[in-house]
Amino acid sequence: MTDNIMTLIDELRKSGLHEDLEFCKKAAEYLAQQAIELEAEEVIGAKKYERSETRTNQRNGTRKRTLETRVGEIELEIPKLRKGTYFPSILERRNMIEDALLTVVQEAYVQGIATRKMEKLFKALGLPGIDKSKVSRICKELNEMVQQFRERPLQACYPYIWLDAIALKVRENHRVVNLSMAIAIGVDRQGERHIVGFELGAGESEAFWLDFLRSIKRRGLEEAKLVTSDAHSGLVSALTQALSGAAWQRCTVHFMRNVLSQISHKDKKRIADALKLIFEQPDHQNALSYLEEIAARMQNRWPKAAEMLLEAKEDILVYKTFPEEHHRSIHSVNPLERLNREIRRRTRVVGVFPDRSSVYRLVGTLLVNTDEDWRAGRSYMGKEGVEKIFKRSLERKNKEFILDDALISLEAQNAIYTT
């Protein structure tokens, strides 16, 4: 072994190839392989093909291992044993470094850092750099985590649920198409926020939303008291079928934008201030009366806007029938819009996703991390406030039972009187 190394060093000095990168790569490969062979001989208790009383094991072929070094990738052969396993000690520390680098790449990918910036970082550390294909291979390990999160069981009841979708560009069949990532977040009975589900599909059709909502129900959701979303016809229709027992709140922010689009530019601020007063009313009845009054005043000059107000008056004021301390959160999809902005910031770096799985990998990992952050932070809503919803629901049911009993009793008396 020593003679071989000395011969290698002498040849390196004589030829002047010590400055050649390829020669250095071969030298590093040779030295590392020889170190592995010596260590394997100690573990086995004998050299290759040697008969010895000290032998405790036998070789059983080799497995290849690629190792990245400062002079490039080198190929090593790790001996396999008939009994037990063997892993070279010179690679154990390298394994820890590689695991750390993989974690860095995965976190950088999720945080929306461009591949070219990662490549600069790798080169600054003395590594050969990293290309897009290698980033994809490393980050595929995130797929299993995302899949488990998407399929996890849900709680039976989420009193409040927000629904929205974000458009993303994905390459399919050699062309770029716009797909929608539907996202549902919810608040449970303890007042904690959760990512309830997410699904990628073609457009925001009724079939797409219905399939998404039914998949959530299959995972355990049984009851929701209020669902807040925009007024996409497909979404609203799907809600009536999949979550028929839940009230629907139309997003007030999107609604105001729709109404103001019918108003001339010079009058927009004045009308916007008037519309805001609707939602500042103390209760549902006052808000409804004020809305009708504004619609009547707008009828002559802005009939289309007035008509929109009257058509949506029940849908945009549903939140007023829920506990007042929740009004700020449940009247719009703003809690979900903040999450959508973060998704856009990170997907903007990618531009066009190569396939659907890459969308789930990036956006899904971000949503998994978000859900963990929410659970680690403070409660989104107080548990006592959430319980008020169920107390009101119980009181309403009791009143209905009393009314039903009274009507049955009245019918019975009428029947006796007529006989």
Residue 293, pLDDT score = 93
Q: Which of 255, 200, 260, 261 is nearest to 232 (CA)?
A: 255
Say which residue, 245 or 316, is predicted with more confidence.
316
Q: Give residue 86's pLDDT band: very low, low, confident or very high (50, 70, 90).
A: confident
Cross-strand bridge partners of residue 195: 185
Residue 95, pLDDT score = 47
> HEC profile for the chain?
CHHHHHHHHHHHHHHCHHHCHHHHHHHHHHHHHHHHHHHHHHHHCCCCCCCCCCCCCCEEEEEEEEEEECCEEEEEEEEEECCCCCCCHHHHHHHHHHHHHHHHHHHHHHCCCCHHHHHHHHHHCCCCCCCHHHHHHHHCCHHHHHHHHHCCCCCCECCEEEEEEEEEEEEECCEEEEEEEEEEEEECCCCCEEEEEEEEECCCCHHHHHHHHHHHHHCCCCECCEEEECCCHHHHHHHHHHCCCCEEEECHHHHHHHHHCCCCHHHHHHHHHHHHHHHCCCCHHHHHHHHHHHHHHHCCCCHHHHHHHHHHHHHHCHHHHCCHHHHHHHCCCHHHHHHHHHHHHHHCCCCEECCHHHHHHHHHHHHHHHHHHHHHCCCCCCHHHHHHHHHHHHHHHHHHHHHHHHHHHHHHHHHHHHC
- Give the lowest-confidence range in 114-128, 149-163, 201-215: 114-128
Read off the pLDDT of residues 152-208 as tens digits, 9 standing for 90 and up: 999 999 999 999 999 999 988 889 999 999 999 999 999 999 999 999 987 778 999
Residue 45, pLDDT score = 80
User: Going by C-beta distance under 8 Å and a sequence separation of 6 or more, which residues neighbour residue 226?
Assistant: 159, 160, 161, 246, 247, 248, 249, 318, 319, 322, 330
Q: Which of 312, 246, 237 is nearest to 275 (CA)?
A: 312
Q: Give residue 355's pLDDT band: very low, low, confident or very high (50, 70, 90).
A: confident
Read off the pLDDT of residues 32-45 as tens digits, 9 standing for 90 and up: 788 888 888 887 88
Say which residue, 23 or 212, is predicted with more confidence.
212
pTM value > 0.85: no
Distance (Å, whole) CA 84 – CA 63: 14
What percentage of the chain exceeds 90 in pLDDT? Answer: 39
Residue 109, pLDDT score = 57
The residue-averaged pLDDT of 85-95 equals: 64
The residue-averaged pLDDT of 228-236 equals: 91
pLDDT averaged over every residue in the chain: 79
Cross-strand bridge partners of residue 351: none
Residue 272, pLDDT score = 93
Give the distance, in angstroms, between the CA of residue 274 and the centroid of all CA atoms in the same chain: 38
Statement: residue 120 has pLDDT above 80: no
Residue 133, pLDDT score = 60
The residue-averaged pLDDT of 233-244 equals: 90
Statement: residue 342 has pLDDT above 50: yes
Averaging pLDDT over each range in 46-55, 70-79, 183-192, 347-356, which range is the top one? 183-192
Statement: residue 406 has pLDDT above 50: no
The residue-averaged pLDDT of 351-365 equals: 85
Say which residue, 339 or 104, is predicted with more confidence.
339
Q: Give residue 400's pLDDT band: very low, low, confident or very high (50, 70, 90).
A: very low
